[in-house]
Amino acid sequence: MPDTGFSPEQQEYLKGFMAGVEARRGSLAPASERTAPPDALRAAQDRAVAAGGKLVPQEQAKRERHPLDRWDELTARAAIGRFPKPIEDFIGRYHGLFYVGPAQDAFMCRLRIPGGILSSWQLRGIADIAEDCAGGYADVTTRANLQYREIPAAKGPEVVMRLGDLGLLPRGTGADNIRNITASPTAGIDAAELIDTRPLVRALHHHILATRDLFGLPRKFNIALSGGGAVEVLQETNDIALTAIETAEGIRFRLNLGGITGHRDFARATGVAIAPEDVVPVCDAILRVFIAEGCRTDRARARLKYVLDRMGVDAFLHAVEDRLGRPLPRLAATGAPVMPAKHGHIGIHAQKQPGLRYIGVATRLGRLTTAQLRGLADLAERHGSGTIRLTVWQNLLLSDIPEAAIPALRSGLTALGLGWEASALRGGLVACTGAAGCKFAASDTKRHAAELADFLDPRIAIDQPINIHLTGCHHSCAQHYIADIGLLGAKVERGEETVEGYDLHIGGGAGPEQKIGRLIRKAVAHDELSPVVLSLLQAWLRTRAEAESFHLW
Ligand code: SF4
């Protein structure tokens, strides 16, 4: 048994507790001791079974006892460091904890930070938790969120409780739940924005957390809102994509549905444009139709995209209208959405508030050490309003900085080993966790991304932003299909041995350049990757029409 800090007597007690939990499970449990899943979930499962299907194990687990009520099992198992079945990991993910065994007796924890906007005191608390309970760092994710790794199993519940103390309870950040809501990181400070999305994101965040029957969807679910402005949110890669537009009736959100770029699909247009005050009820109704109609018997086809493929957009919208009890407004947009420039947020930018600036800070592939987290909190507080804004580009912004404080802030960032300048390559370099911390990875994405940038930067000068995304497996956390150069982890046969490498895709894009990248070369070994990418970029610079973007080349 691993060293958990518990005495032998306590460990015996916990073993007994777990035996009791096992004995109370399923049909052995008296009804009064069980907590039933929500009716809508049970009804959807019943329909799937009546149609001749067999529920997948995850659905069985939801049916047995609501995973949010299984905190007692999670804490008891964490105390004795035993998660022998994948389904136990599935339960833990409802509480934000991802067990990474058997390779490591440890958890990953994904936070819930609405819109990616934090206060300095929260960031300091996050640093304290990283120091006491995780690997001494946190990673900025491609959903403008943070993740801890290397959490000893016995400390997993402690991390969740301490995050709750900070107002950042990570409930539902894994498994079949609604992930952290992504939104424009410059909300409220951007002269080009159409609407400040912060109050809407906050309302939706709390609605989800407080609505028990929105936990336990057929599969995971992503929501993003763009209020317009300088920084791309990649909302069209989400299940619900809301984009602010100007209409004759005022500001509305264009509703697109079913984005899932790992399955090569952007969110599709619905023709619906909703008022800001309708964001919460319409999202709720969409989620309830998904709960009723989503697949419970095949995990590979359980995302919203497949419901839309089966029902069609019109029938789906009618079902949403039935839930809402009123029609959804179909409005013709009178203006195009405000489309941001490609990863142009690093550096110093004017805010809509006169005399104030925000500064885009480049991280090294999203990783922030405890010292950097604390240092950023101090700088945000000393020179600005104490606000830290994470981006989907694995970078961050510090906002509300008076012009006169910029030099001191720059010095402070330099002292922390963080930059406010990035080359056209580094500003758009994105990598998922990869083999260093994820059991699905075919390649060590973060290491190879760093090597790639170190190789390319001194050898080639790029005059416009390029996105290079490295993703370790088909789950595509780093969204390789929407990158100018997208690299998907692959095992490469080399004589007798197998080495890490990538399938090379080019020509993807998001926002105004929306396009799924195409595969041009399979199985490039990681140690051959840098010269291959260099020649690709050189060929583009040599042969492009004047200022032609890589995306169009
Ligand atoms: Fe892990 Fe795959 Fe996601 Fe990378 S893309 S973090 S390897 S699941």
Report CA 471 to chain centroid distance, whole Å.
Answer: 13
Ligand 1 centre to CA of 445 (Å) is: 9
With a 6 Å cutoff on the Cβ, whether 473 touches ligand 1 is yes
- Residue closest by Cα to atom 4 of ligand 1: 472
User: Do 193 and 229 form a contact (C-beta atoms < 8 A)?
Assistant: yes
Buried b (16+ CB within 10 A) or exposed e, 426-445: bbbbbbbbbbebbeebbbbb
- Residue 4 confidence class, pLDDT cut points 50, 70, 90: low
Angle separating helix axes 86-94 and 57-64, nearest 10 degrees? 60
pLDDT tens, residue by residue, 19-61: 655 554 444 444 444 566 788 899 999 999 999 999 999 999 9
Note the pLDDT of residue 465: 81
Q: Which residues pair with 106 in a beta bridge?
A: 152
E strand or H helix that includes residue 453? helix 445-456
- Residue closest by Cα to atom 2 of ligand 1: 473
Note the pLDDT of residue 161: 96
The 8-class DSSP code of residue 325 comes to: T
Ligand 1 atom with the shortest distance to the CA of 442? 7
Ligand 1 centre to CA of 439 (Å) is: 8
| In the chain, % of residues over pLDDT 90 | 64
With a 6 Å cutoff on the Cβ, whether 431 touches ligand 1 is no
- Residue closest by Cα to atom 3 of ligand 1: 477
Ligand 1 centre to CA of 477 (Å) is: 5
With a 6 Å cutoff on the Cβ, whether 430 touches ligand 1 is no
Is pLDDT at 425 greater than 70 in this prediction?
yes
Ligand 1 centre to CA of 480 (Å) is: 11
pLDDT tens, residue by residue, 121-130: 999 999 999 9
Dig out the tokens for 447 from the structure: 């290491």
Is pLDDT at 14 greater than 70 in this prediction?
no
Q: What is the mean pLDDT of residues 225-236?
A: 91
For 48, half-sphere exposure in the C-beta direction (CA atoms, 13 angstrom radius) is 23
Is cis: bond before 102, omega within 30 of 0? yes
Ligand 1 centre to CA of 488 (Å) is: 10
Q: What is the mean pLDDT of residues 471-499?
A: 91
What gap in Å lies between CA 440 and CA 430, rounded to an integer? 18
Which residues, in sequence order, are CB contacts of 267 under 8 Å at separation 6+?
Answer: 235, 236, 237, 238, 239, 240, 241, 256, 257, 258, 259
With a 6 Å cutoff on the Cβ, whether 477 touches ligand 1 is yes
What gap in Å lies between CA 272 and CA 128, rounded to an integer? 45
Ligand 1 atom with the shortest distance to the CA of 489? 7
Ligand 1 atom with the shortest distance to the CA of 440? 7
Note the pLDDT of residue 427: 78
Is pLDDT at 174 greater than 80 in this prediction?
yes
pLDDT tens, residue by residue, 132-165: 999 999 999 999 999 999 999 999 999 999 999 9
With a 6 Å cutoff on the Cβ, whether 433 touches ligand 1 is yes
Name the residue of 173, 179, 444, 475 whose CB sits within 8 Å of the most ligand 1 atoms, as the mutation to test its pocket: 475
Query: 443, 440, 430: which is closest to 391 by C-alpha?
Result: 430
Is pLDDT at 342 greater than 70 in this prediction?
no
What gap in Å lies between CA 17 and CA 476, rounded to an integer? 39
With a 6 Å cutoff on the Cβ, whether 427 touches ligand 1 is no
* Least confident interval from 20-34, 88-102, 409-423: 20-34
Is pLDDT at 488 greater than 80 in this prediction?
yes
Ligand 1 centre to CA of 476 (Å) is: 6
- Residue 329 confidence class, pLDDT cut points 50, 70, 90: very high
- Residue closest by Cα to atom 1 of ligand 1: 438
Note the pLDDT of residue 29: 43
SS3 labels along 259-284: CEHHHCECCEEEEEEECHHHHHHHHH
| In the chain, % of residues over pLDDT 70 | 90
Name the residue of 438, 448, 487 whose CB sits within 8 Å of the most ligand 1 atoms, as the mutation to test its pocket: 438
Beta-sheet pairing, 356-361 with 396-402:
antiparallel
User: Do 391 and 185 form a contact (C-beta atoms < 8 A)?
Assistant: yes
With a 6 Å cutoff on the Cβ, whether 485 touches ligand 1 is no
Note the pLDDT of residue 211: 93
Note the pLDDT of residue 331: 79
Strand order in the sheet with 396-402: 117-119, 387-390, 396-402, 356-361, 347-350
What gap in Å lies between CA 482 and CA 511, rounded to an integer? 10
Ligand 1 centre to CA of 443 (Å) is: 10
With a 6 Å cutoff on the Cβ, whether 141 touches ligand 1 is no
Note the pLDDT of residue 438: 83
User: Do 540 and 504 form a contact (C-beta atoms < 8 A)?
Assistant: no
What gap in Å lies between CA 120 and CA 214, rounded to an integer? 30
Note the pLDDT of residue 80: 82
Note the pLDDT of residue 17: 59
Ligand 1 centre to CA of 110 (Å) is: 13
Note the pLDDT of residue 20: 58
Query: 543, 445, 459, 449: which is closest to 500 by C-alpha?
Result: 445
